Chains A and B, each alone.
Chain A
Amino acid sequence: MIATPTVDLITVNIDGKDVAVPKGTNVIEAAAKVGVDVPHYCYHPKLTVVGNCRMCLVEMGLPAVDPATKTPVMDPATGKQKINWMPRPVIGCATNASPGLHIRTTTQLVKDCREGVMEFLLVNHPLDCPICDQAGECKLQEQATGYGRGYSRYVEDKNVKPKRTVLGPRVTLDDERCILCSRCIRFSKEVAKDDVLGFIDRGSTSTLTCFPGKQLENNYSLNTVDICPVGALTSTDFRFKMRVWFLKQTNSIDTETSVGANTVVWSREGQIYRITPRQNDEVNDTWMADSGRILYKQVKAEDRLTHTSVAKQAASLAEAITKASELIKANAGAVRLVASGKNTVEEQFLIKHLADSLATKTSLISRVGAGDNILVSKDHNPNVRGALLTGLISELPTAQLTTLSSEIDSGKVKVVISFSEDLTAAGISESQLSKVQVIYIGTHHNKTSGLAAIVIPSLTVFEKSGTFINQQFRIQKFVAAVPGPAGVVDDLVILTHLTSSLHGTTVQLTQAAGLLAQTWTSLSATIPSLAPLSFSTIPDTGLLVDSTAFAKLPFVETETLHFKPVV
């Protein structure tokens, strides 16, 4: 563990309450510590401060010091040091805590300031909340209710601006709603490192636009939609699909790469509508890549496997399990497993268990692709480290299954069990696959499942609960957001059944939830670095596990946000 650096704590006073904060904390953050809400639009904790919305105006005072003698001036009434209040308000976002700083947020001046700012912001705001996708999570709505004057004095015509400007392939701008907070501009420049947005024109005709000849098309463009405090930037995919107040939020993990960005899956009645990032200051701050947001489409994809089949004939799960165990027993010693870096830690643990009982080897297929040094790492498998930790593999996976390929050719292998992996993409030809019996346990159809003797459908990451271990060796959990297709059971259930069927025992069809807890009991008993944990005790932001045993492995990841490879 890295020791937390000692921070200089100073005491500031907010609305009469003293609070100790690190030096340099701004007033919005300091006030949040004592539960005082300082309304703001342009300030974002992960972006630079510009102070252009003026919503966070507060009154500020400093302890009085005699200019000549530099001694504190005492207030005889209270016996404490006198506070010199500034005659005009200051913005909270750009006021940093200094020793003895006093802030007032409840005075008439502050109230008038907020009402005034809200009134100006609403002057040209279209108030089309009934058709606005931001309604329900709109800062302007919330703060108009909380701090606005409640009625409009504006009788002139409102400004008219373009309602459907396409800024990029995934982002549509409704210009009328924009309050010119410039969060999106700062995000593009500072985080996405793709400076394409800017304001043109002046005064009330100011407009957000892309620089000439450019588009907001980087892989982080949808973060601008997330941080937009109003409904100006909208996601073209989610636009007009569903009101946010109907959507259930479920914590999940991005499976796109080994970064393991924390996400929230928004679903209603078993249908996922969008994926947004969840704040984790150790992993992804408040961002995620656009490419990870469309992964929910795999749930209802056309090539989704929904039926168990044996020799291309529909079969029940029990039949398929029996057939599979017969097949494995008949070819004892000639069975190979191909697990996936997309399997959860729990699944990998059970696969390891299965491999041990068959005394066979397990391979993993690596997915090395392009990374962008922000939140897309080079390893496109989310859970290679889980496979290492569970002992499923001891070496880093390769892209080509050369050993398996030669073993098939030499006739040493008769049965291959593939967990959602397409073996034809890993150097095993279709003619080689037709020489062996393939048992395919996976979510989607591919060439391998097409050639498989037994196909057992399983659940996607959105339909099951489990954990992944990301590139930092941080174990992060996700929970099921939506139910799986009818009749499709959790991978853990399939694996438990298969293993017990091989041992000649039968188990009751267990609920996946109970099985998860059960798996964790043996997981924490078997793997020392996971010993104190259980699924329910893993915090929402994950937990670093001991990785010293794997420090020598040449991982493919390069530096990304909050991650530096061990050299």
Chain B
Amino acid sequence: MAVIKLERKPLSLAERTYLPQIVGGLKITLKHLLKPTITMQYPEERPAIPAGYRGAPTLVKDPHGREKCVSCQLCEFVCPPRAIRITPGEIAHDSPNAHVEKAPQAFDIDMLRCIYCGLCQEVCPEEAIFLQNVYSTTGYTRDSMVNHKADLYQMGGTLPDEHFKWDKKKEAAEHGGSHHG
């Protein structure tokens, strides 16, 4: 195998002083020094969440403060990793929402299991469960990774309602329609 020996070129004067390289490096440093910062100071700073983001599932109330979930358990049924667990219950007869009859006694979503697929939101016939903008769920124990009913309503808040289905039903019962007093 033939070996070809190459002679290294001798360095020029400018190269031997290293100055052009130092100046070039400083130029890049200075350019970045003056540019606006792109690093986000997480967790003090939080990103803006785009619309339609699928964060943690939450429960929402209607604008009148009624909990929308009627514990039909369809989300529990559809949930692929079985993260949702609902204990159904009856609404007290003296409650202003007694006409809705059913509401969850307990509603737990295990965030260690949740895969953020959004099927629960899709299947909900009452528009009560939404994957909103909660993207960070942390905890020290397995128990703390389970969102209970109160946490879910706190995260979910109130969303506008297009139908007011149950309000209309109550109104119909109060004004006419009822033949048996």
Contacts and interface: CB of A to CB of B under 8 A. Distances in A.
Interface stretch (A156-164, A380-388, A445-453, A550-558): A156-164
B143 interface: no
Contacts, number: 61
B125 A241 contact: no
* B interface residue count range (under 10 / 10 to 19 / 20 to 34 / 35 or more): 20 to 34
A130 B126 contact: yes
B100 A131 contact: yes
Interface in A148-176: 157-164, 175
B180 A243 contact: no
B102 A135 contact: no
A135 B180 CA distance: 26
A201 B181 CA distance: 13
B89 interface: yes
Contact of B72 (A126, A131, A158, A175): A131
Contact of B172 (A131, A157, A164, A245): A157
B73 interface: yes
Contact of B99 (A158, A163, A246): A163
Contacts of A130: 70, 72, 74, 102, 125-126
A205 B179 CA distance: 7
Contacts of B77: 243, 245-246
16 contacts: A130-B72, A131-B70, A131-B101, A157-B172, A158-B172, A158-B177, A160-B172, A160-B178, A161-B179, A161-B180, A162-B178, A164-B101, A201-B180, A205-B180, A239-B90, A243-B72
Going nearest first, the 3 A-B pairs with the smallest beta carbon separation are A160-B177, A130-B72, A131-B102
Interface in B37-96: 70-74, 76-77, 88-90, 93
A159 B179 contact: yes
Nearest to A162: B180
A201 B178 CA distance: 13
Given A239-B90, A241-B88, A246-B77, A161 B99 contact: no
A243 B125 CA distance: 15
Given A130-B125, A240-B90, A241-B88, A163 B101 contact: yes
Interface of A: 126, 129-131, 135, 157-164, 175, 201, 205, 207, 239-243, 245-246
Chief secondary structure at chain A's binding surface? loop
Nearest to A204: B179
Q: Which of A162, A201, A240 has the most CB of B within 10 A?
A: A240
B115 interface: no
B72 A201 contact: no
Nearest to B90: A240
Interface of B: 70-74, 76-77, 88-90, 93, 99-102, 125-126, 169, 172-173, 176-180
Contacts of B90: 239-240
A240 B102 contact: yes
Given A241-B88, A242-B88, A245-B77, A135 B72 contact: yes
A465 to B, nearest CB: 28
A246 B101 CA distance: 21
Nearest to A201: B179
Contacts of A161: 178-180
Contact of A243 (B73, B99, B100): B73
Q: Which of B90, B101, B172, B173 has the most CB of A within 10 A?
A: B101
B152 to A, nearest CB: 18
Contacts of A175: 180
A240 B179 contact: no
B46 to A, nearest CB: 35
A201 B70 CA distance: 32
A242 B87 CA distance: 8
A241 B73 CA distance: 11
Q: Which of A160, A207, A246 has the most CB of B within 10 A?
A: A160
Contacts of B101: 131, 163-164, 240
